[in-house]
Structure 1
């Protein structure tokens, strides 16, 4: 009974169908019809003009987006537990040619304007320190916490005040949108670039980099090629993205994952470490309790010595959810 990660979930059948439908001769790289239509699809989704490019991984999406904002001598303000800091093996420094991550604290792995301001205040002007050039936030955060529109507005105002780019890691953007129930533009806020997550939400191997400053699209195209991410049969990546957008499948999948997480959260009660706003559940549990659940067939990650992480997906078996909820409530 799998609660390790939404990355472990299967590919949604509609994406397989879309890739099969794209399995015909077309022009290579990103010149095929499906790839060329992505700009219009995402512009309609967000209600403003944008450029959309496919890549194969979230790491590439994050780093290519940030590379449009940050010089090799610059810095990116992010949370101290952000994915770009903890889980990308130094990829930001690699893609950004040495740029530095400037770390800030925050409850639930969320940044606040005040926390960002404290980092900025500690940077002196001149050539002796790394200047901040961008902010990166994660929606939903690494602990499944969701930024509200007013929080995004405050961070955006600070970014504009200091002439900083604003990037959003949206690996679980669909889960945040399902929780907030608002339009995608409200969930993204006034960001400059967005990594629109697909793989955790039923995709196979395609993520979208969304640039609201369309003039920077060519910069990413060159950097994507140089980084080895320009796939010669890009129509198969584009097909996955279109299938996810069709009839709001991305939202349907995220709602299913969120609902499963909420059921487990209700059973956990005061064992919850963070409010459950997306599809991740962090539960206080000692070693004996973890062992007892694993003996019953539940798979999940230890998260330090006193906490476990359980993640649901679009395909999580409802019977498994009920069994886990019952087992957690009985601890």
Structure 2
């Protein structure tokens, strides 16, 4: 039996609890009680989430946990000295410690991030690095495993983190079965970007959104302004004007960003040669793709692939 202690504190986000069902379902899939889940807090009793829901908890005691998970909050607030001390003490006798979203700040206050590569929600990554300069905050990951310390990005990434923990314990097939029962495709790879180009573009009208969807489905094509305008049922001149007004980008720049995103996913998830990736995502050649990667990420495709492979290897995948 592995005891999982889920640490909460006043004002934590209810979304952090989304990671809990993964362990419940893990027990069902494994057909044995592998995980025993406890909700713990500094003083015990009801702890109020930022949404107003009270969660009943146990006070930290002498119980040893196999896995300690610190939930995150919508806002970053200093932890109480008591909470920091409790996390420090518990971590000393815990196999692994994880944090969801801004829960990483609690680990930082406890000194657990020093010398570690970590992540958190992209909105707070810069502040995490500033407050805890001895860590290396990587904004561009869904989750990171560095030794006994696991950290995840925004709240939904806590589910990916939980699935990764289960996979490390019970194997890939169990984790896949858990994801299926949770109606998830599967957990996202740790090195996957937190960002989505389509979400970032945030088209306001159905016509521009249709053009973007068409572009994403046809990245292997040249995708001229005329072709995109036809998909949007607008004249090329009107399309360019409306597209820039809604997205703040030119159609050509938006298409390049979509190509880079698709190419990055292929680099992370496949072993296709770089020339093949460039061809499938519409880049004229590998050099053009390399220049686009440098503009977008400051790194060439080979480094992106190596980092993604390293994250998977570190997780034992």
TM-score, normalised with respect to structure 2:
0.32
Which one scores higher on RCO, CA 8 angstroms, separation ≥ 6? Answer: 1
TM-score, normalised with respect to structure 1:
0.31
- Which has more radius of gyration? 2
